[in-house]
Amino acid sequence: MTLARAGLLRGSFVPPTKLRELRLIARQRQKLVGQLASEKNRLYKVLTESGIRLGTVVSDLHGQSARAMLKAIIAGQPPHEVLKFVSRRLRASREEIFDALQGELTASHQFVLNELMQHIEVIEARIARFDTTNFRVNLRANGTHWRCCKPSPGVELIGAAMLLVEIGTDMDAFGTSS
């Protein structure tokens, strides 16, 4: 407190209004991403609890083929019917997948899995809306900086947007090491 009164401390960084608005959008998106991960983990746990080990034979339980199989499982289709949704790109054989689909799926499991799947899809749609808004607002506010940052190696589209939102474009606000 004494240092601040004597003027020996630099002021805190207070981002401009537009940047604060972008942060609001980006940080809510991050919360949704966390919720999505939690719901996906819960879905995996319920599948495992029911004896269905689909997650052990597919690399992405929420990829296109696995999601189609999950929806068939939730709809109560028998394992041999679920195999219709297996993509040729999956590394596991049809026999391995068939074995992984053997389990005791009760009506309670089906209900919870259905609710989880619906919630996952709602969250994914919400994240997509946040992304669209973030990119549209971010592009409008930071057009030139956005174009410079976006194609950088190792920086994906979402990463570039989050970087601009968190640090802004005015590096003078952070001072120098000297």
Output b/e per residue, 138-158; b: 16+ Cβ within 10 A: beebbeebbeebbeeeeeeee
Digits of tens for pLDDT over the chain (178 positions)? 676 677 776 666 666 777 777 888 888 999 999 999 999 999 999 999 999 999 888 888 888 989 999 999 999 999 889 888 888 888 888 888 899 999 899 999 999 999 999 999 999 999 999 888 877 766 665 555 555 555 566 666 666 666 676 666 665 655 666 6
Q: What is the pLDDT of residue 145?
A: 54
- Tell me, what DSSP letter sits at residue 11? P
3-class DSSP state of 25: helix
DSSP labels, 61-106: TTSHHHHHHHHHHHTT--HHHHGGG--TT-SS-HHHHHHHT-S---
CA distance 164 to 167: 6
Q: What is the pLDDT of residue 28?
A: 92
Q: What is the pLDDT of residue 21?
A: 79
pTM of the model: 0.76
| 5 C-beta neighbours (distance < 10 Å), count | 8
Q: What is the pLDDT of residue 150?
A: 54
Q: What is the pLDDT of residue 59?
A: 84
